[in-house]
Amino acid sequence: MRLLHTMLRVRDLDTSVRFYTDVLGMQLLRRKDFPDGRFTLAFLGYGDESANTVLELTHNWDTSTYNLGDAYGHIAIGVEDVYAACERIRTSGGKVVREPGPMKHGSTVLAFVEDPDGYKIELLSDS
């Protein structure tokens, strides 16, 4: 077994794709409209789906808002340098919601950013 993807529902697919590609550096791997179901799927990631877990963004054409709920936590992305990644994200127009620094009650350096829909993304040092 292998983890294939995580799906997030988004209000504005183009805005979300721009965030994940331009701000977080992912590649748009594929995108497909499903007119009969009135939704579009976009798959993004840091490598081909055959070898990497990716992110599926789902845009339901007739839904303008979502309740993110209180059970969902975040996705995590490994980066070389959390401080430098936050600076690049900020410069690209991204929103840092937890500044880089040690984890509370630990020493792991992390930060959190937020996508256009309010989903949290944790940045962790690869090393």
**Type of residue numbered 33:** D
H-helix or E-strand containing 57? strand 54-60
CA angle at 84 for the pair 17 and 54, rounded to the nearest 5°:
35
User: Whole-angstrom Cα distance, residue 118 to residue 22?
Assistant: 17
Q: What backbone phi and psi angles, to 5 degrees, belong to 93?
A: 95, 5
Q: What are the catalytic residues?
A: 122
Tell me whether residue 108 is exposed, middle or buried, using C-beta atoms within 10 angstroms of its C-beta: 0 to 12, 13 to 18, 19 or more: exposed
